[in-house]
Amino acid sequence: MSIRKEEIRKIAHLARINVSQTELDEVEKKLVGILDLIEKMQEVNTDSIEPMSHALDINQPLREDKVTEKDIRDKSLSLAPHSEQSLFIVPQVIE
């Protein structure tokens, strides 16, 4: 199972992770190995099988529409890499 370097660049972009030119070969080699492993799944026919998202057959519980959370602004702003005037500061978001 091969993966083109172009595809690696694309998924790295989607995942917002830099993969440098030099790293690309290493990454490709390791990914190909894992993809070969995953390919084994195709050995078995699963056409009539229902996918399983959760181990147990239970339903989503619902929460009462009551306020339970208090203002943690001071704490959360203190944990931020950069905050100003109660906002989290990042490089300009261009629409």
Partner 1 sequence: MDWDIVIGIETHVQLRTNTKQFSGAPTKYGSEPNSQACLVSMAYPGVLPVLNKESVNSAIRFGLAIDAEIASRSIFARKNYFYPDLPKGYQISQFELPIVGRGKLSIDIGDDSKDVRILRAHLEEDAGKSTHGIIDGKSGIDLNRAGTPLLEIVTEPDMSSAEEAVTYAKKLHNLVQWIGICDGNMQEGSFRCDVNVSVKKKGSSVLGTRREIKNLNSFRFIKQAVDYEVNWQIERLEDGGKIEQATILFDPESGETKSMRSKEEANDYRYFPDPDLLPLIVSDKDIVVIKKLMPELPEEMKARFEKDLGLSAYDSEGITSSRDVTQYFLKLVDLGANAKLAANWVLGNLFSQLNDKDIDILDSPVLPEQLSTLINRIEDGTISNNAAKKIFEILWKNTGKEVDLIIDQLGLKQISDSNEIDGIVDEVLKNNLTMVEEFKSGKEKAFNALVGQVMKASKGKANPAQVASILKEKISK
Partner 2 sequence: MLNLSLKEISQALEKKKFTSVELTQFFLNRVKKHNPSLNAFITVDEGKSLAMAEKSDQLIQSGKKSILTGIPIAQKDIFCADGWKTTCGSKMLENFISPYDSTVIHKFNNAGAVNLGKTNMDEFAMGSSNETSYFGPVKNPWNLNCVPGGSSGGSAAAVAARLAPAATGTDTGGSIRQPASLCGFTGLKPTYGLVSRYGMIAFASSLDQAGPMAISAEDCALMLDVMTGHDEKDSTSLNRKKENYSNSLNKKIDGLRIGIPKEFFEDGLDSDAQKLIEEALKQYEKFGAKIVDISLPNNHLAIPAYYVIAPAEASSNLSRYDGVRYGYRTKEYDDLMDMYFKTRQEGFGDEVKRRILIGTYVLSAGYFDAYYLKAQKIRRLISNDFKVAYEKCDVIMGPSAPSVAFKSGEKQEDPLAMYLQDIFTISTNLAGLPAMSIPAGFVNELPVGLQLIGNHFGESKILNAAHIFQKNTNWHLHTPKGID
Give the one residue of 13, 34, 35, 37 binding partner 1; rule: CB under 8 A: 13
Give the integer Cα–Cα distance in Å for 15 and 22.
19
Q: What, of partner 2, partner 1, none, does residue 2 touch, CB below 5 to 8 Å by kind?
A: none
Q: Work out which of 14, 41, 44, 49 binds partner 1, going by CB under 8 A.
A: 14
Residues in the chain: 95
Cβ contact 77:83 at 8 Å: yes
Find which of partner 2, partner 1, none residue 22 binds, CB within 5 to 8 Å per kind: none
| Structural tokens at position 75 | 């704490």
Question: Would you give the distance in Å from CA 86 to the centre of its chain?
Answer: 28
Name the residue nearer to partner 1 (CB basis): 18 or 68: 68
